[in-house]
Structure 1
Amino acid sequence: MSIVRPLLLATLLLSGCAAAGDPWVEVGGQRFSVEVADDDAERARGLMFREQMAADRGMLFIHDRQEPLAYWMKNTKIPLDILYFDNDRKLVARQVDVPPCSLGNNCPNYPSEVPARYVLELNAGQAARLQLQEGAELKLSPAIPPAR
């Protein structure tokens, strides 16, 4: 019995350390656990085919350089807010309440119109709920790799 307690404590501590390393972002005073898409394949797949996403979740896309970007909702089944951030992680553009699209390659684009480097996709309505305005800062957890 005396060895079980230290092993249980060690297991709990190690699992807590792993959770602390999970990627998150903070915007508008709210923290969201995120999946990070930082290569072409991950960016292309994005949130396709997802039936739902928890309110405290999102996906962060990291691009290789800052430039005007455009996202689409091909095979995306949930409405999203698409938030564009520059190199300084300041909100520079947003497309809100973007509807799902099942038109394949005929889905419309939702452009940033201005150069951006990071794109955060959240459930539709989050930007309004947080009252996000241009210039809002995106904070990244230490678990998110630095932009290349």
Structure 2
Amino acid sequence: MPAFRLPLLALALLLSGCANAGNPWVEIGGERFSVEIADDDAERARGLMFRDRLADGTGMLFIHDREEPQAYWMKNTRIPLDILYFDDDRKLVSQRRDTPPCSGGNACPSYPSGRPARYVLELNAGEAARLELQDGAELRFGKGIPPVR
């Protein structure tokens, strides 16, 4: 390989890593997760439906317009998830761990927050237990999280 191509290759590899650094992320329990954002009605309704897997180290962050009791269900969701509810201050107020998939359509049960929540983080089942999350844990937002309206 010609010598001038090595710096170009190194630069391309560096830039490809930097592109990923701009992806939205959250931190909980001392660990960072890349997240997809669901901040409108259509995105929140679709959520993680019809997916066969959720990559390790990733999740979905649902952002609601206001803090209020929330209820999520697993309709058309194929993977078990931890559903974590956070208030306006991004404190964990409720957890639904190891929530099973549901193919029962409208007969799928809902999983209420029990307390008002504004943010909901869905991760692969088992993450909350692995991180030993307790109510009151703080969700930290990284770059790429849209400002609250």
Alignment of 1:49-128 (within 5 A): 49-128=50-129
Report the alpha carbon displacement of residue 2 of structure 1 after superposing the two structures with TM.
6.1
* Whole-angstrom distance in 2 between the partners of 1:5 and 1:86: 49
Task: Report percent identity of matched pairs.
Answer: 72
**TM-score normalised by length of structure 2:** 0.92
* Whole-angstrom distance in 2 between the partners of 1:130 and 1:13: 31
User: Equivalent residue of 1:131, what SS?
Assistant: coil
Amino acid at match of 1:140: F
* Whole-angstrom distance in 1 between the partners of 2:8 and 2:27: 34
Amino acid at match of 1:123: N
User: Equivalent residue of 1:136, what SS?
Assistant: coil
User: Equivalent residue of 1:135, what SS?
Assistant: coil
User: Equivalent residue of 1:14, what SS?
Assistant: helix
* Whole-angstrom distance in 1 between the partners of 2:10 and 2:130: 40
Q: Quick check: 124-133 or 82-91, which moved more?
A: 124-133
**TM-score normalised by length of structure 1:** 0.92
Q: Which runs of 5+ in 2 are unaligned?
A: none
Q: Which runs of 5+ in 1 are unaligned?
A: none
User: Equivalent residue of 2:129, what SS?
Assistant: helix
